[in-house]
Amino acid sequence: MRPLKFLLKKEFKQIFRNKALLPMIFVMPLLQLLVMPLAADYEVKNINISIVDNDQSSYSKELTSKILASGYFQLSGYTHSFKESFKLIESDQADLILEIPHNFEKNLSRNGFEKLFIAVNAINGTKAGLGGSYLNSIISDFNQSISIKASKNTPDLEFKSIDIASLNWYNPYMNYKIFMVPALLAIIVTMIGVYMCGLNIVKEKEIGTIEQINVSPIKKHHYILGKLIPFWIIGIVVFTIGFFGISWLVYGIVPLGNLFLLYAYLGLFLVALLGFGLLISTYSETQQQAMSVSFFFMMIFILMSGLFTSIDAMPDWAQKIAYINPVTYFIEVIRMVVLKGSGLVNITKHIFIMIGFAILFNTWAIINYRKTT
């Protein structure tokens, strides 16, 4: 164990002496955590709508004001023909067209039904889909209110409807940030795990100092532990700053679950991820190679971890990739423990899987690191 002491001392000195690395480790991740949740927001607002009101009746005016009052839409045109409105879509000034037909009010009161026409610019699928469904719900709401009015006037027409009462658990206001911030914290820890440690070793390969280590009687596992431990500690520290300093203080996310459990899982996750970084470093000769390979995996780790998109919504093959991605499990655990207050029983499966990853990556890395080639 004595050589390990010297390795750790050396490593910490080098890390804290590196003027470029320190801000990279501490400032950048936290800035990302501050900025990203504000930008990466799924809620679609300010949808530009153009309304073609062919009716100009009190009903059509009521519907229009209802749409604009919802807060999701901005009126970019109020035209008299579809053609005019379509020009707005072509010039990207409008995302949606709602066409209200002639005799809208008359037909509605006389026949009890009428058709509306919605045209959506579907280039941005999310915006189009959400805009369409917002509009639909506003119209059905409007529909209900006029039905009620109608039923009052003609009591023989019985009004039937099913009313659904829903309750949102764990994130009652469906605040996107509550969903994103803990997961972004997981991604930041992942970056430290994959990049920092791996690059550090490859740097020693590049400048040649690793040769001096390889020609010494130092044990492989001592050397690797000497690299793992400093970055493990850094990972925990960065997570702590992000968790208490930003997630709790700035975003007001109070963890519901057991913090000890969360930290235990974080520790385990870091061992697995640092092992992965080490593994990449044993296969790379230059920092450039290590960086490119790490970047490739980082993309998969981020996109296929359920960070932005629900894993259940992915095609089968993609789900399989997501479930061999260690980051998936950490994001699940952090969301479960922080937002739902899940306990040990709920994440037992996650713990065993992560232990598996940790053993796999680290053993592979130690075997593949050769002092004698």
Partner 1 sequence: METETVIKAVDLTKKFGNFTAVDNISFEVNKGEIFGFLGANGAGKTTAMRMLCGLSKPTSGVANIAGFDVYTETEKIKSHIGYMSQKFSLYEDLTIAENINFFGGIYGLSDKELKEQSNSLIEKLDLSKNANKLVGELPLGWKQKLAFSVAIIHKPSIVFLDEPTGGVDPITRRQFWDMIYDAAESGITIFITTHYMDEAEYCNRVSMMVDGKIAALDSPSNLKEQYGAATMDDVFYYLARQAKRS
Q: What CA–CA distance (Å, rounded) separates 135 from 69?
A: 12
3 lies in the site for partner 1, by CB under 8 A? yes
107 is a contact residue toward partner 1 (CB under 8 A):
no
* 373 makes contact with partner 1 (CB under 8 A): yes
Contact window for partner 1 (CB under 8 A) among 10-18, 227-235, 279-287, 344-352? 10-18
Cα 249–Cα 251–Cα 256 angle in degrees, nearest 5? 80
CB-CB contact of 235 with 267 (8 Å): no
Give, rounded to a whole angstrom, the gap between the first and last alpha carbons of the chain. 25
With beta carbons less than 8 A apart as the criterion, state whether 210 and 10 touch.
Answer: no
Among 153, 166, 310, 372, binds partner 1 (CB under 8 A): 372
Nearer to partner 1, 80 or 219 (CB): 219
DSSP string, 235-256: HHHHHHIIIIIIIITTT-----
Instruction: Read off the tokens for 2.
Output: 């004595």
Nearer to partner 1, 10 or 80 (CB): 10
Give the C-alpha separation, 341 to 113, whole Å: 49
DSSP state of 344: G
- Give dist(CA 29, CA 33) in Å, integer: 6
Q: Is 109 in the site for partner 1 (CB under 8 A)?
A: no
> In angstroms, rounded to a whole number, what is the distance separating the alpha carbons of residues 263 and 337?
10
Q: Does 6 engage in binding with partner 1 (CB under 8 A)? A: yes
| Binding of partner 1 by 56 (CB under 8 A) | no
Q: Which stretch binds partner 1 (CB under 8 A): 95-103, 205-213, 251-259, 327-335?
A: 205-213
Closer residue to partner 1 (CB): 66 or 371: 371
Minimum distance, C-beta of residue 11 to partner 1, in the bound complex (Å): 10
Angle formed by the axes of helices 58-69 and 104-111, to 10°? Answer: 100
Question: Which residue has 């899982």 as its token pair?
Answer: 265
Q: Is 22 in the site for partner 1 (CB under 8 A)?
A: no
Smallest gap, in angstroms, from Cβ of residue 5 to partner 1? 7
Single-letter residue type at 56: Q
315 touches partner 1 by CB under 8 A: no
Binding of partner 1 by 296 (CB under 8 A): no
Inter-residue contact 179 to 332 (CB < 8 Å): no
The reply to whether 18 sits near partner 1 by the rule CB under 8 A is: yes
- Per CB under 8 A, 14 contacts partner 1: yes
Q: Does 371 bind partner 1 (CB under 8 A)?
A: yes
347 token code pair: 């994440």
Residue type, 113: F
CB of 369 to partner 1, least distance (A): 14
CA distances from 219 to 201, 224, 302 (A): 15, 9, 35
Q: Is 203 in the site for partner 1 (CB under 8 A)?
A: no
Complex with partner 1: residue 50 or 200, whichever CB lies closer: 200
Q: Which two tokens stand for residue 101?
A: 């037909």
Q: Which position among 7, 89, 184, 262 is part of the footprint of partner 1 (CB under 8 A)?
A: 7
Contact between 211 and partner 1 by CB under 8 A: the answer reads: yes
Q: Which of 56, 65, 136, 209 binds partner 1 (CB under 8 A)?
A: 209
Which residue matches tokens 């009591």? 155
Indicate whether 349 belongs to the interface with partner 1 (CB under 8 A): no
Q: 5 or 149, CB closer to partner 1?
A: 5
How many chain residues are in contact with partner 1, going by CB under 8 A? Answer: 25
Location of structure tokens 């040990």: 344
Are 53 and 262 spatial neighbours (Cβ–Cβ below 8 Å)? no
> Which member of 125, 155, 208, 315 binds partner 1 (CB under 8 A)?
208
CB of 319 to partner 1, least distance (A): 43
Asked if 214 touches partner 1 (CB under 8 A), the answer is yes
For residue 220, how many other CB atoms are within 10 A of its CB? 14
Q: Which residues bind partner 1 (CB under 8 A)?
A: 2-3, 5-7, 9-10, 13-14, 17-18, 207-209, 211-218, 371-373
